[in-house]
Amino acid sequence: MSAIPEHELQREGRRVLRKLADSKAHLEHLPNGSWTVVQRGDRESGRMRIASGLIKAFRERGWLEAAEGEALRLGAGGRSWLIAELAGIDISAAQHQSLGLRLVQNDRGGEDLVVVNQAESPLAWLHARGALDSVQFEAGERLRRDYTLAQLEPRLCTDLSAPVVLGGNGPKTMFISDTVLAAKQRLAKALGAVGPGLSDVLFDVCCALKGLETAEKEKSWPRRSGKVVLALALDRLADHYGLRPAAISGRMRSWSADNLEPARPI
């Protein structure tokens, strides 16, 4: 095994594997023997230099796997290790739970790497089954991220369903209280832009992680109506975030909770 100190391996592992978590990224071998991360659309692509000794150590731990040609990419072992690092859990727990990595756009125009519990997220469940498109899903994830950063939910134990942010592109000197305040303001502004009724179902599903059936029962809505209302709410949220072209968002129809008749007992 490598003689590189453990703390250095872990530090460099977080730095390199975070870049490789993007499906568009891979490692390429340079003529001088070192390696670099190549990532489509990234201005920093190709600038990072990683010593061959570190790459060898990463491969020995199963963090990397072969890609096309001589390229390397993030392997299953590396993904599990990175998830465990970000979520602050044991590696065995990361391997036996439905946890995944996702890049979420932040309000500074950059991206944050987050850990999500795909098994417990209603949005992820609906998106995986084609009930939500990628823009609707991204809008809901951004709302959930601000809810998490705003620290509005009780934390009795580790919340694996909440995104865990690693190293965004913003200033490192920002106080936590400022981050929380900014997230609360963004959350309030987003829910206000969506409007009454629609903001309620967004909060229930995106923030409180309630299933659609539960939300329907609590609001006395007809069965299967929640999916339609949620889609409309996410469209309006995506419009607020500027995620859809103006020509598409301008065609959105209005909605009111009064339009839904209460569910009748069978």
What is the dihedral sign for C-alpha 233, 235, 240, 243? positive
Q: Are residues 209 and 130 in the same domain?
A: yes
Instruction: Establish if 84 belongs to a structural domain.
Output: no
Distance spanning both ends of the chain, measured CA to CA: 67
Which of 22, 48, 75 represents a domain boundary (last residue)?
75
* CA distance linking residue 77 with residue 58, whole number of Å: 10
In a domain, 110, yes or no: no
Residue-level pLDDT at 203: 92
| 140 and 213 co-located in one domain | yes
Of 38, 42, 79, the C-alpha closest to 58 is 79
Q: What is the DSSP secondary-structure string of the chain?
A: ---S-HHHHHHHHHHHHHHHTSTTEEEEE-TTS-EEEEETT-TTTTT--B-HHHHHHHHHTT-EEE-STT-EEE-HHHHHHHHHHHHT--HHHHHTS-EEEEEEE-TTSSEEEEEEETTT-HHHHHHHTTSS-HHHHHHHHHHHHHHHHTT-S--SS--TTS---B--SS-TT--HHHHHHHHHHHHHHHHHHH-TTHHHHHIIIIIS---HHHHHHHHTPPTTHHHHHHHHHHHHHHHHHT-S-HHHHTTPPP--GGGSPPPPP-
Which sign, positive or negative, has the C-alpha torsion 58, 63, 66, 70? Answer: negative
Residue 247: inside a domain: yes
User: Where on the phi/psi map is residue 121: left (φ > 0), alpha (ψ -120 to 50), or beta?
Assistant: beta
Whether 122 and 240 map to the same domain: the answer is yes
- Residue 175's Cβ-side half-sphere holds a number of Cα atoms within 13 Å equal to 3
Domain boundary among 47, 75, 103: 75
Question: Phi/psi at 117 (nearest 5 deg)?
Answer: -90, 100
Give me the number of domains the chain comprises.
Answer: 2
pLDDT at 137: 92
129/242 same-domain check: yes
Same domain, 131 and 221: yes
> Could you report the average pLDDT of every consecutive run of 10 residues in the chain (266 residues)?
82 93 90 91 77 96 92 92 83 67 66 69 85 92 86 47 47 56 91 92 89 86 90 95 67 48 40
pLDDT score for 154 = 44
Contact 37, 16 (CB under 8 A): yes
Q: Which domain holds residue 147?
A: 115-155+177-259
Q: Counting every residue, how long is the chain?
A: 266
